[in-house]
Amino acid sequence: MEDEELVFITPADVAARDGITKQAVTKLVRTLVDQHDIPVERDGRGRIVRFSQAHFDHHRERFGSSEKTTAARKSSKPVAGPCLDPASRDEALRQEAWLKVTRAKLQQQEERGALIRSDILLTAVQQCGREIQSAVARLPNHSDDLAMEVSKEGAHGLRVALRKIAFDLNQRVAEQLEGISDNAPVSDPMIEEVET
């Protein structure tokens, strides 16, 4: 989606449109940037100045509080992003069309499973890593058994014992990861809406 023309909007525009504070919008945008990497423009100090209106609205409706979003939509008028002539009806229609296309593409990517919550994925990867580390950390417990096999059977006995340990280790890791998968939620929880 980098090649498309995105409609950018400021926190002040969203605050005026949705009837909430600019600080609440800024906080929600930071959350969406961290969790969904929505397109933003930053100033020289790294602060978010503008962000993609389509991405913001899509993720807010998907993960935000539906009551707050619906109430804000009913009482708000659409705010067009910056354009050459903001009063131009043609420019407003053009930007509205771009918003619809961008949001439709986001919806399609979500339905295909191409969009993921990076915060939840990171937590899951860390949990899997801890389970694998835990299993590997138990290898020194087999040192006495391996020494016994070397003294009895030599290198061949050591190879056989190592194969058995590797099989048991793989089995343990697979069971632990399957347990994590079984306990994982079917869908992502909502992003907590910022209180105004």
Report d(CA 125, CA 112) in Å as an integer: 21
Domain boundaries, the chain: 8-112, 118-183
pTM: 0.40
* CB-based burial label for 187 (10 Å; 0-12, 13-18, 19+): exposed
CB-based contact 7:51 (threshold 8 Å): no
Strand 8-9: give its sheet, edge to edge.
Answer: 8-9, 48-52, 40-42
pLDDT of residue 159: 92
Average pLDDT, the chain: 78
Tell me: the pLDDT tens digits for 105-114? 887 777 777 7
Q: What is the mean pLDDT of residues 43-59?
A: 86
Look up residue 38 and give its amino acid.
I
